[in-house]
Structure 1
Amino acid sequence: MDSNQPERWQIPAAMAALGLGGGFAALAPEPAETLEPVVWPVLALLLYATFCQIRWRDLRPAADGIRFLKALALSQAVFVPLLVAVLTLPLPGSPTLKLAILLVLLAPCTDWFVTFTHLGGGSTQQATVATPVLLAGQLVLLPLWLLLLAGPTAVEAIAVDRFLVVFAGLIALPLGLALILEMGTRRWRPLQRVAHISRQSMTPFLLLLLFMLTASHVPQLAGTGSVLMGVALLYIAYLLAVPALGVVVGQRLQLSPVATRTLIFSLAARNSFVVLPFALTLPEPALAAGVIVLQSLVEVAGLILYTRLVPALVPLQASTPSNSG
């Protein structure tokens, strides 16, 4: 990993990007909404820049790689659904409200959590390896948990082909381009400059994405504020519970501090970008969209704070290899 990223100003800059996006949405809501289709390619560029951070030729298997995948599978498949089930118990009887919340909280992120894992001192290598595992797991288990927690009609909200298309565009393509670039730098020196610029572009792409995400999604929350206040508290409660869950699982399975950090970021980040189209098919699409969009905004703020809080919560130990990829 490059160590010359301007880490000190990333959090203030990220908060400023969120504020500017919200201000733009308030001043010009209609133009702001037109930015939404551009969020996807910007996210793909962010993931490409993140994958370029990895020195693929120098990768070695992480010492606790298998334990990490076990911890990830156990947490995402069992502990997170149980936590979500508890948090959603006091919800009112609106089927759309509950289903939208379940849809987003039960689907682990397969894209930008890699970026925040890097910023928070986790293992980009392990996060990258985890993405296909997370995708395959939610394709199988998400319909099951929705069936158990929301009833038989919930399964109709899942479209396997949509998940596969998003994975191909946001994970496989950026990852493939990053690998091709690194292989090319061995044979053609000018590509080394391209690789350097690609690595340095991660923070600008992240800030651009935060601005566009906020600007394009805030207008969708209009008219649903009273209902979403309680939902926001639920999302905050989830983000508060996740670090403790990650630490406990990491300790029980004897993960390294870096692997534990990676686990926490994976548990915190949800697949709001992917499940939003499914939410729009629910009986109350405006409410469902508001629930999903709100989660993504709360998550962004939470992950920004995580980049400072998680390293403090899970400090590195000199005697433990970091395997930070």
Structure 2
Amino acid sequence: MSVIVAWGERHQIVLYLAAIVIGVVVGLRAPAVAHPLELAITPVLGLLLYATFLGVPFSSIGRAFRDVRFLAVLLVVNFVIVPVIVFGLSRFVAHDQALLIGVLLVLLTPCVDYVIVFTGLAGGAKERLLAAAPILMLGQMLLLPLYLWLFVGPELIDVVDLAPFLDAFLLLIVLPLAAAGLTQYAASRTRAGRALSDAAQSAMVPLMMLTLTVVVASQISGVGRQLPALLATIPLYVAFAVIMIPVGVVAGRTARLDVARTRAVVFSGATRNSLVVLPLALALPATFALAPLAVVTQTLVELIAMVVFVRLVPRVVPVRQRP
């Protein structure tokens, strides 16, 4: 078993790309699976985050929460710099309000779930991002209505229901984190607890593959049906991911963060909260039917980008060699 786990970790990038391809094939060949797989996204993502949280000692989370400089950089990047960039990019779809709202919903909200996984894979400070997750979630809940009011107008505020933010926070942060804490406690005292902890952490690569396949397969059919209308958003999402690499690097180095924390800033700035804001977009009136598909399109672009980032970011932010 250990040999299989080690093989999977060595070849994880290829395996993740294969999972995305499988998701595309399944979703296009069997569109009827889209709805049941969409219902499975939250449970599967919760399991992935549970396994991720297991690999972060809770003592590290406590220390990370006291890292004021890192938290300040993260907040500035996500809630000051990103909105300026998003406003500029969103002008290219400002003529279509449904696309505009979809783009704004997804790009203005920093990711608090699988960004932790990808950051860890790239050697970033995943425990810092885990500690920052509640702050980032609260920040976007408070600031998203303000950004929408500034970028679109006051008429949209009344039709956006922010309740899914609370649901996502409970199901994707609080519940997996509590379960991981209990498992760590059991692992320190019982053989069964240690076995469960080891098994969950060994399943990281399969769980990530399952998550990628489920997300892509559940959404690709809907995107395919409206692809001509959604094509305008794809260059915006690609441009956003590319722009956030130098933004994150410069922010980290300006604040004199170490390599691991700078990589975490890059990932946090580039990765968006698409799986959380999707229910917000789905709750919009029928006249905004393209908005949730614009959110889903960003998810598909981002998943591919994150697989690339896992290899690219360590090269852009290398470990400094001592003279």
Q: Would you call these one fold, judging by a TM-score over 0.5?
A: yes
Q: How big is the shift at 1:22?
A: 0.7
Bigger helix share: 2
SS of match in other structure, 1:255 = coil
* In 2: Cα distance, 1:166 partner to 1:255 partner: 30
Q: Which amino acid in structure 2 is aligned with residue 110 of structure 1? A: V
* In 2: Cα distance, 1:37 partner to 1:31 partner: 10
Q: 1:148 to 1:209 in 2, by over 3 A?
A: same
Q: Which amino acid in structure 1 is aligned with residue 9 of structure 2? A: E
SS of match in other structure, 1:54 = coil
Q: 1:283 to 1:153 in 2, by over 3 A?
A: farther
Mean CA deviation greater in 185-194 or 199-208: 185-194
Q: What RMSD, in angstroms, separates the aligned Cα atoms of the two structures?
A: 2.0
Unaligned runs of 5+ in 2: none
SS of match in other structure, 1:86 = helix
1:293 aligns with 2:307: no
Q: 1:209 to 1:198 in 2, by over 3 A?
A: same
SS of match in other structure, 2:93 = coil
Residue 251 of structure 2: aligned partner:
249
Q: 1:59 to 1:31 in 2, by over 3 A?
A: closer
Which of 310, 314, 319 is the matching residue for 1:311?
Answer: 314
Task: Give a deviation string over 1:168-215, Cα, whole Å, max 9, x none.
Answer: 111111011111111112221221111100111111111001111111
* In 1: Cα distance, 2:245 partner to 2:262 partner: 9
Which of 295, 300, 305 is the matching residue for 1:302?
Answer: 305
Contact kept? 1:22, 1:214, Cα under 8 Å: yes
Residue 192 of structure 2: aligned partner:
190
Residue 158 of structure 2: aligned partner:
156
* In 1: Cα distance, 2:45 partner to 2:140 partner: 21
Q: 1:6 to 1:140 in 2, by over 3 A?
A: same
Which of 84, 87, 91 is the matching residue for 1:82?
Answer: 84
- State the identity as a percent: 36
Task: Give a deviation string over 1:17-66, Cα, whole Å, max 9, x none.
Answer: 11111111121111243211011100000000000111335667259921
Mean CA deviation greater in 138-147 or 156-165: 156-165
Q: How big is the shift at 1:161?
A: 2.8
* In 2: Cα distance, 1:314 partner to 1:157 partner: 42
1:53-68 correspondence runs (5 A): 53-57=55-59, 61=63, 65-68=67-70
Unaligned runs of 5+ in 1: 320-325
Provide the TM-score with structure 2 as the length reference: 0.93
Question: Number of aligned pairs?
Answer: 318
Provide the TM-score with structure 1 as the length reference: 0.93
Task: Give a deviation string over 1:213-244, Cα, whole Å, max 9, x none.
Answer: 11110111133211211210110000000011
